[in-house]
Homo-oligomer: A and B are copies of this chain.
Amino acid sequence: MPVKNVYEARIEHLQILDEEARLDEKLAKWPDGRPVLTDAEVLELYQYMVRCRAVDDLAFKLQRSGRMGTYPQNRGQEAAAVGAGFAAKRGVDYLVPCYRENAALWMHGLPMHYVLLHWMGDERGNQIPDGVCQTPLCIPIGTQMLHATGIAWAFKMRKEARVAITFFGDGATSEGDFHEAMNFASAFQVPCVFFCQNNQWAISVPRESQTASETIAQKAVAYGMPTTQVDGNDLFAVVRASTDAIERARAGGGPSFIEAVTYRLADHTTADDARRYRDAKEVEAWQKRDPLIRLRSYLQARKLWDDAKQAALDDEAKAAATEVVRTAEGIEAPSTDEMFDYTFAAPLPAELELQKRTLQTHSLGQDPAQAGLSAQQA
Contact = CB atoms under 8 A, between A and B. Distances in A.
Interface of A: 2-16, 18, 24, 27, 174-180, 183, 186-187, 189, 209-215, 217-225, 229, 237
Contacts of A229: 6
- The prevalent SS among residues of A at the interface is mixed
B176 A189 contact: no
B212 A186 contact: yes
A224 B213 contact: yes
Given A213-B223, A221-B218, A9 B12 contact: no
Contacts of A6: 11-13, 214-215, 217, 229
Contacts of A3: 12-15, 27
Nearest first, the 3 closest Cβ-Cβ pairs linking A and B are A176-B176, A179-B179, A7-B11
Contacts of A212: 183, 186-187, 189, 223-225
Contact of A183 (B7, B174, B223): B174
Contacts of A4: 12-13
Given A210-B187, A222-B221, A12 B8 contact: no
Contacts of A237: 2
Given A5-B11, A6-B12, A11-B6, A222 B213 contact: yes
State the copy count for this chain. Answer: 2
Contacts of A187: 209-212
Nearest to A216: B222
Nearest to A220: B222
16 contacts: A2-B15, A3-B27, A4-B12, A5-B11, A6-B229, A7-B10, A7-B215, A8-B8, A9-B218, A186-B211, A187-B209, A187-B210, A187-B212, A213-B222, A218-B222, A222-B222
A9 B221 CA distance: 9
A289 to B, nearest CB: 16
A372 to B, nearest CB: 24
A186 B18 CA distance: 33
Given A186-B213, A189-B212, 16 more contacts: A2-B24, A3-B27, A6-B229, A7-B10, A8-B8, A8-B9, A9-B9, A9-B218, A175-B180, A179-B179, A179-B180, A183-B212, A187-B210, A213-B223, A214-B224, A219-B222
Given A183-B174, A211-B187, A222-B219, A5 B9 contact: no
A172 to B, nearest CB: 12
Contacts of A12: 3-6
Contact of A7 (B27, B189, B217, B224): B217
A225 B222 CA distance: 12
A187 B213 CA distance: 8
